[in-house]
Chains A and B, each alone.
Chain A
């Protein structure tokens, strides 16, 4: 086959699989969100699949009750937000049933009861709450641990620092930035057993129930099936088997990793496919966003230097809004806020939302320097072109733009590099790109230093390649 034929076949295959996914969705497939790093309830095993008590219980119940579902692993905070925005059908993520949450969600019967414990660094002398006075305590947002610690904060006089993810919280305690953390007992004990250098120093407080959640008033059928299935797997012993499997075994037997794979190279080869797919996602997002942002930036730049007041006003307003908004806020707004506003079960795929986010943000920055570049072209150029009888747009296209764009090339290169790095922020809306891949891998093997080093090196390599490419283009143009 010739090259173009292969390309056509691949395109058709891509369309095919896309349609395939779509038809599947019509046969009522529920999207169930879960957390990414909450071992032993959920964590990523070798090869990128998810494992854990929640995952296995859901699987067993689904089998019993014939529920079709698609698992979506995102951060806990994002999962809860997406459920309330109707972006997913249910959440199973070691979620405590609380009166506040019952305002927005309907919960299943409790499937696990857990208590909160305090953990400190291995060498720490802290043994009880009163020793926390004036010190900082690390908490993970939205957890029972966080709620409990908040309730005793004024009594014991400590400061609070919030994290989105368990590992970062543990590490903060481990390196001594925070004196202690509060975490659900099974999660903490699992982590410690698997190499986290912390120790539990309190008994279990505030035992709370974990439940499967759907949005209030929605998916009643799903909830009913879940309750029925839960009863069934408790009755036939499957439930006990799942819980025992995770609470009484070490991590490596579950994730399939061996001690020998803990070297830098070993970790790299072990996680090659996970990192590869994250890298691919990062590149895809970067390239598409760069193209879209460049188009948007050029339009904004041209509007910005147009004669009259309207064009410049539109341009500077758009630049003002999207340059002024933190990328993360913009991502949340588009992915969660916007569908919430429209309602009617409107959903935006995370990838599309991520792309739009980057386009608007990077496009605004691009617009600003494109406008500047055009303005940097001497006024005499436009005057000379116009005095020859050339209409405004011809003068713009033939005289101003070619000169302006040359001035802008270094800014474009800079913006491309920024775009690449900014893709990492999109992990907050559940896009599993390179950075998120790192978080997921560390969530199961706790090899923070080696994995982050690996991720950092990969970013530097791509940025180096991008810089070379840009320099080559710059030489060609000049």
Chain B
């Protein structure tokens, strides 16, 4: 069974319908990149997947848990879904190490020692082994985002959601973060990435989903989507993005 199953997903804010009936399945170990113009509903869709936004209508099943079922313990589901935000959202009052160990220790996933050991290993993986005791405000944007990825990974999630992880970064920082994400993809992590990095999508994605006006307009392998776009909307979007 697919890891993520989304059926007829709708989301409205008052009269404004942001998602107008989405259907999507994501398989185990699959990397899906979602592209599309601003305001198309990509981020809202992603935030629905871990219940930060509650859908108006439709069904979301993640690893067998139905999010719309009142009996589902959302905290338990979230432990299995790592989320990385555009603005990092590190906890400014905690050190880098404490940022990473907070959830595992609070949720009794590991002893303090074990959690710190894991955290240091993760920091090594993202190339920040020397920053364990630094405060977030002393880090650059790229470093913050890599800490945020390590923090999400510390819960040992089955799926990672990335919400425009490089949009708030200076251009020279983007590469480091994308490298970490590529490694993660190579290790077989199931990933859904909302991004404007077409190069990354082309290189890493198993599948690219193009969204516009609250609907999935087109979906396919990167080479199909980027080289042979079918719909005029996608052709128009790619023209604008690539010819900048």
Contacts and interface: CB of A to CB of B under 8 A. Distances in A.
Contacts of B89: 378, 380-381, 383-384
Interface residues of A, number: 18
B155 A389 contact: yes
A389 B89 CA distance: 15
A390 B75 CA distance: 6
Given A383-B85, A398-B102, A390 B91 contact: no
A403 interface: yes
A387 B52 contact: yes
B93 interface: yes
A450 interface: no
Given A387-B83, A388-B102, A403 B155 contact: no
Contacts of A380: 85, 87, 89
Interface residues of B, number: 24
A406 B52 contact: no
Nearest to A383: B52
Interface of A is mostly: helix
Contact of A388 (B76, B87, B93, B151): B151
Q: Which of A381, A388, A390, A399 neighbours the largest number of chain B CB atoms within 10 Å of its CB?
A: A388
A394 interface: yes
B204 interface: no
Interface string B184-196: 0000000000000
Nearest to B109: A389
B75 A391 contact: yes
A29 to B, nearest CB: 56
A399 B87 CA distance: 16
B48 to A, nearest CB: 12
Given A380-B85, A398-B102, A386 B91 contact: no
B193 to A, nearest CB: 15
B91 A381 contact: yes
Given A380-B87, A383-B85, A384-B85, A390 B103 contact: yes
Interface string B31-69: 000000000000000000010100000000000000000
Nearest to B106: A394
Interface in A369-394: 378, 380-381, 383-391, 394
A276 interface: no
Contacts of B50: 387
A389 B52 contact: no
22 contacts: A378-B89, A380-B85, A380-B89, A383-B85, A384-B85, A384-B90, A385-B103, A386-B52, A386-B78, A387-B81, A387-B83, A387-B152, A388-B78, A388-B79, A388-B151, A389-B75, A389-B107, A390-B103, A390-B106, A399-B91, A402-B93, A406-B93
Interface of A: 378, 380-381, 383-391, 394, 398-399, 402-403, 406
Given A387-B78, A388-B78, A388-B151, 7 more contacts: A383-B85, A384-B90, A387-B82, A389-B78, A390-B75, A394-B106, A403-B91
